[in-house]
Amino acid sequence: MENSAALLVIVDSANVVGSVPDGWWRDRRGAAERLRDRLAEHGLPGRTDPAEIVLVVEGAARDVESVPGVRVESAPGSGDDHMVGLVAGAGGRPVLVVTADRELRRRVTTLGATVAGPRTVRP
């Protein structure tokens, strides 16, 4: 969904996946794919308004592909820098960044985004 009026939800895949010690480190790509699939199926829990979901991946999860309902962006370098760039390029539309990373939270709120923790998208 590429709707400029819809909330842009940017999900820090590494941070969200790493928030639960469920063995994700043995298969980082698989963990990112499971998160992507959960987001595609359920969207953003508790929200019914339109949202464009972008899952930012990096490192071993870099080859995860987009699916209907979730656009996957592979960070060419720092995932945090990529997410900050997405927020900066949002053109004034509302943006929610899902991460627990304090420095990333500071950087994106300075640009006008709101933030939420990993539990926002975890079951």
Task: Summarize pLDDT for 53-107 with one digit per residue, the tens.
Answer: 999 999 889 999 999 999 999 999 899 999 999 999 999 899 999 999 999 999 9
What's the CA gap between 12 and 14, in Å, rounded?
6
HSE of 92, CA atoms in CB hemisphere, 13 A: 0
99: amino acid identity, one letter: T
| Predicted confidence (pLDDT) at residue 1 exceeds the cutoff of 50 | no
Give the pLDDT score at 36: 96
pTM listed for this prediction:
0.92
The pLDDT confidence band at residue 123, using thresholds 50, 70 and 90, is: low
